[in-house]
Amino acid sequence: MNLVTQGCRRSLLAGLVAATSAWIGFTTVAAASEIGQIKVSKGQVTVDRKGEALSGSVGLRLETADVVKTGADGSVGITMGDNSLLSAGPNSILALEHFDFDPTTSQGRFDAQLQRGTLAVISGRIAKQSPQAMTVRTPSAALGVRGTEFVVSAHE
């Protein structure tokens, strides 16, 4: 079993849950795959997922299109499936727009957007394998990540 089959199992499970919910008359839940996990969480941290605001506590597994927000006293640290590390300071909005990663070949693509606030990044295996494959955007700029550690801020 590798990470992909594990992901498939999770998707199958999610699909099963979705199908069951639909059957008993609840809203259908889309099959989800996990891309990273919150490892550090201080103060107010929320995750917007499909119109729902989840508490961004330590251990929460993240999905593509999640938007991570911190309050005035908040900060959050995330480990992605390719070993990329991202952490945001107070009053930040970070959108995990796209993430796919094949652990066997290290091929994949990672796009994130810092809409507001401060962000520290240590890139992982995706950027190491192919230097064009990871991009961090702000509302006004695009950063091509060639395998590195950096910080970026975005003012409104």
Answer yes or no whether residue 12 interacts with another protein by CB under 8 A: no
- Return the residue of 15, 29, 39, 102 that touches another protein, per CB under 8 A: 39
* CA–CA dist 104, 102 (Å, integer): 6
Site for another protein in 83-122 (CB under 8 A): 83, 85, 87-90, 92, 103, 117-120, 122
Pairing mode, strands 67-70 and 45-49: antiparallel
- Return the residue of 11, 33, 37, 129 that touches another protein, per CB under 8 A: 37
- Taking residues 59 to 88 in sequence order and writing x for each that binds another protein by CB under 8 A, - otherwise, the string is x---------------xxxxx---x-x-xx
The answer to whether 49 touches 63, Cβ cutoff 8 Å, is yes
Region label for 65, one of left (φ > 0), alpha (ψ between -120 and 50) or beta (otherwise): left
- Return the residue matching tokens 């064009």: 132
- Return the residue of 63, 93, 109, 147 that touches another protein, per CB under 8 A: 147
